[in-house]
Structure 1
Amino acid sequence: MKLPIYLDYAATTPISPKSAKAICDTLSDPALLGNPSSSTHMYGWKAQEAVHAARARVASLFNAKARDVIFTSGATEANNLAIRGVCQGLSSPHIITSSVEHKAVLETCQHMARNGAELTILEPDENGIVTPESVASAIKGNTVLVSLMHVNNEVGSFNDIDAIGELISGINPNIVFHVDAAQSAGKVDIDIKSLAKIDIITFSAHKFYGPKGIGGLILSRFARKKVSSISFGGVQENSLRPGTLATHQIVGMGEAAAECKEKMSLDREHVLLLRQTLFNTLNECGVAFNTNVNQNLAYPGIVNMNIFGIEPDELMLQWSQVAVSSGSACNSQTKSDSYVLQSIRNGKDKNPSSADVRISFGRYTTREDVTEAVHHLTAALSAVSC
């Protein structure tokens, strides 16, 4: 059975062979079978050494210190820890976020609002970007947290996290600035030492060629004083995330992080080439782009487009030779229009005889994959119009 062409990297990237090998080697090494928290024998020491080495490699991806990395099961848990950990126990804390955030952020903020927090949800501009000025104008005396993504998971738009952080710091440096970097970590250079202010960064390994089920946060020294644990049962990860560490997954993420740092420039050049190939071959397909085609405004590995003359379900049926998404992976099972695209369109629904499709690609995608995918799209549209 021939597998479809995989163009859904924003949902999850393929795991790199080096990361997969590191995981298998860790699982099969008898010396690493111990619990990393066991400090009374060699098995625990060896596992702990492997975790420490991987922690340093993950930190290096962000030019952070290893001690600032806290491991979680992924970005969803990390986002929950960041938002709930900052706000819990405070009286009427004010949170600022946006309407185009991932549900792991939006729903967590809404949960806090149901439990006494004040919540401001900003609207993006027509490119899906939250402007620094809109953030600054929303800050109040009781604002404790600003939570925004770096790269949007549906349209790829960049938020200027450096400018936003600088404005926050200038207005009130006691506000925690949380950046959801799930779609940018490992793909875009994030040097936290050169940025004006980022207090918390959250990420998932499976978005940058590592394994599923592992991710984490990077906390500034300031944020360490602001975040409280939301789960209990141990002292692991400075008591912020108790539970036995998954040595093999952490090692796999460390390997993926090191590889991404080494290949970041080449990976970016590759996705730029793939995006241009996509644009060049889409001329006759009758599409409009939800993603801004200016590479400075959007990450080139994510292209969201609106295809005329076909409904989403029909497109997915006719275009089955290609694995793409009609929304984010977390929302693809729902039939309603994407809330992200509705926000960008100022609440207006799309034409019912059109389909919104997210194409996302990366390191292992070839130009032939892209041109063949468009060939299948052309055939699908012709089949529907016959």
Structure 2
Amino acid sequence: MRTIYLDHQATTPMDPVVMDVMQAAYTQYFANPASPHAVGVRAFREVERARSAVARFVGGARSEIYFTSGATEANNIAIKGVAGRCPGGHIVTTATEHKSVLDTCEALHAAGCAVTVLPVDAQGRVTAEAVARHLRDDTVLVSVMLANNEIGTIQPIAEIGRVTRQAGVPLHCDATQAVGSLAVDVTELGVDLLTLSGHKIYGPKGIGALYVANRLTDIAPLAPLIHGGGQERGLRAGTLNTAAIIGLGAAITLVEETRDQEARRLAKFRGTFLAELTARSRAPFRLNSGTGPDFLPHALNLSFEGVDAQELLPRLTDLAISTGSACNSSAQEPSHVLRAIGLPPERIRGSIRLSFGRFTAERDAIDAACSLAAAALPQPESAAPGRAGQKGAAAW
């Protein structure tokens, strides 16, 4: 049976071009890039070629790019690395951040840092004015993602960047979900730290990148999480994953070449899918995410009235979709993002997340809508109505 893959916000299939590049790397550039012999030097040059590709993509310098095992590690290094320079400082973030940001902030709070978690509006957005109101004399970092991994909301990072730059506070931006669809330039965004991951842009898993502005490390180096051989200029010790780094360089180059055209194509497929679903579904549904220019073009989050998504998914044997972030799905917990935007429990219970990708065809969008419409059967509602979501900033 053919499976239509529509879970690109969780991970993307590797592009065959990237796979070919990596297979060659495993045989041609297998040496340790820190080794002084000719084979090691060749591997080092390929690593630096990939570093240049990432730097060009984000508008930074090659010396500002550090390779990690993925965005989760990169987020940890960025936040803990800055916080470690000023123990007990104050951090500002938002209620809809990825768990690798929120859990890192929670761990720092347990270690003595003050943390302010800003609420978001019904679309999942925070304003630069809200950030400005919660900056303090001891604020050491602001962390706001560029685009949300569940509802696709694009945050006004450039506006927030102007606020943090004026206040002299570093700004970290988790751009993992955004780099495949949006132009990312660290200067235009006004960010000091930015993270991304290879497996969200048709590259390999287990590789990511962290941008750290030289102006930040010129003041004081970030505190490393891992100590060892001094790789990545002392910030991230450990033998480099050469083949994955080369794969990341290839993947990010492909994104750079196709991003704008691909965004338009996928937005069209999303429209086709919604039109088909509207015409065929027996269960009324409501969008939890927007479809305008302030949202990712390929993503959708919606809820069926009277439908439990956990019961719906097993019936969709020909579709690969999810009920929320893949990082939380195993715990079967209600989405913290949907709670933060104020959705009632019954609507969260009926929510699904799907996203179109590079290898999705228009026929896939139509067939997926037909399959989902046939499987989404309303059940008697037993949950009491109510609304969740934060009303004000939470201070940990």
Q: TM-score range by the shorter chain?
A: over 0.9
The aligned counterpart of 1:322 is 319
Q: Aligned equivalents of 2:136 and 2:227: distance in 1?
A: 32
Q: Residue 140 of structure 2 aligns to a residue in which SS?
A: strand
Q: In structure 2, how many angstroms separate the alpha carbons of the residues matched to 1:383 and 1:138?
A: 43
Matched, 1:255 2:250: yes
Return the letter of the residue paired with 2:151: V
Aligned length: 375
- Equivalent residue runs for 1:123-272 within 5 Å: 123-170=119-166, 172-173=167-168, 175-195=169-189, 197-224=190-217, 225-272=220-267
Name the CA distance, whole Å, in 1 between partners of 2:51 and 2:275: 41
TM-score (norm 1): 0.94
In the TM superposition, 1:40-79 aligns within 5 A as 41-79=37-75
Task: Compute the displacement of 1:187 (Å).
Answer: 2.0
1:230 to 1:381, Cα distance in 2 relative to 1, 3 A: closer
The answer on whether the counterparts of 1:324 and 1:358 sit within 8 Å (CA) in structure 2 is: yes
> Alignment partner of 1:283: what SS?
helix
Q: Which residue of 1 aligns with 2:394?
A: none
* 1:173-193 Cα distance to aligned partner (Å, 9 max, x none): 2x1100000101132101223
Structure 2 partner of 1:361: 356
Secondary structure in structure 2 of the residue aligned to 1:303: strand
Question: Aligned letter for 2:113?
Answer: A
1:292 CA displacement: 1.6
TM-score between the two structures when normalised by the length of structure 2 = 0.92
- The AA in structure 1 aligned to 2:260 is S
Whole-angstrom CA distance in 2 between matches of 1:339 and 1:376: 28
- CA offsets per residue over residues 123-150 of structure 1, 9 Å max, x none? 1111001111111111001000001110
Aligned equivalents of 1:281 and 1:181: distance in 2?
31
Q: Give unmatched runs, 5+ long, in structure 2.
A: 381-396
Query: Once the 2 structures are TM-superposed, how far is the Cα of residue 300 of structure 1 from its aligned partner?
Result: 1.5
Work out the CA distance in 1 between the residues paired with 2:164 and 2:142. Answer: 9
Matched AA of 2:342: R
What residue number does 2:26 align with? 27
Query: Secondary structure of 1:105's match?
Result: helix
Contact 2:305 2:378 in 1 (8 A): no
Measured in 1, the distance between the counterparts of 2:70 and 2:221 equals 21
| RMSD, aligned CA | 1.5
Task: Give the distance between the partners of 1:3 and 1:58, measured in 2 at CA.
Answer: 35
Q: Give the alignment partner of residue 313 of structure 1, picking from 288, 294, 310.
A: 310
CA contact (8 A) 1:19 1:252 kept: yes
Rounded Cα–Cα distance in structure 1 between residues aligned with 2:287 and 2:180: 25
Q: CA deviation at 1:280?
A: 1.2
Identity value in percent? 36
Mapped to 1, the partners of 2:221 and 2:92 lie a distance apart of 16
- Hey, what does 2:34 align to over in structure 1? 37
Contact 2:288 2:301 in 1 (8 A): yes
Q: Which one of 289, 292, 317 corresponds to residue 290 of structure 2?
A: 292
Residue 10 (structure 1) shift: 0.3
Q: Deviations over 1:140-164 (max 9, x none)?
A: 0100000111000000000011000
- What residue identity is the alignment partner of 2:209? G
Which residues in structure 2 correspond to 1:84-103 (within 5 Å)? 84-103=80-99
CA contact (8 A) 1:187 1:208 kept: no
CA distance in 2, matches of 1:281, 1:144: 49
Structure 1 residue aligned with 2:342: 345
Residues 1:191 and 1:383: Cα distance change in structure 2 (over 3 Å): closer
Aligned to 2:79: 83
Structure 1 position 78, deviation (Å)? 0.2
Go from structure 1 to structure 2 and tell me whether the alpha carbon gap of 1:38 and 1:226 turns closer, same or farther (over 3 Å shift). closer
Aligned-pair CA distance for 1:351: 4.3
Counterparts of 1:7-22 in structure 2, within 5 Å, are: 7-22=6-21
SS of residue paired to 2:300: strand
Q: Retained in 2: the 8 A contact 1:148–1:180?
A: yes
Deviation, 1:314, is 1.6
Summarize deviations over 1:54-83 as a string: whole Å, max 9, x none: 111111111221111100000000000001
Report the CA distance between 1:15 and its aligned residue.
0.8
Q: 1:157 to 1:85 in 2, by over 3 A?
A: same
Are 2:95 and 2:119, in contact at CA under 8 Å, matched by a contact in 1? yes
Amino acid aligned to 1:302: A
Counterparts of 1:69 and 1:336, CA distance in 2? 35
Contact 2:277 2:370 in 1 (8 A): no
Change (3 A) 1:363 1:351: closer
- 1:264-302 CA-partner distances (Å, limit 9, x unpaired): 111111111111112211214221000023x22211111
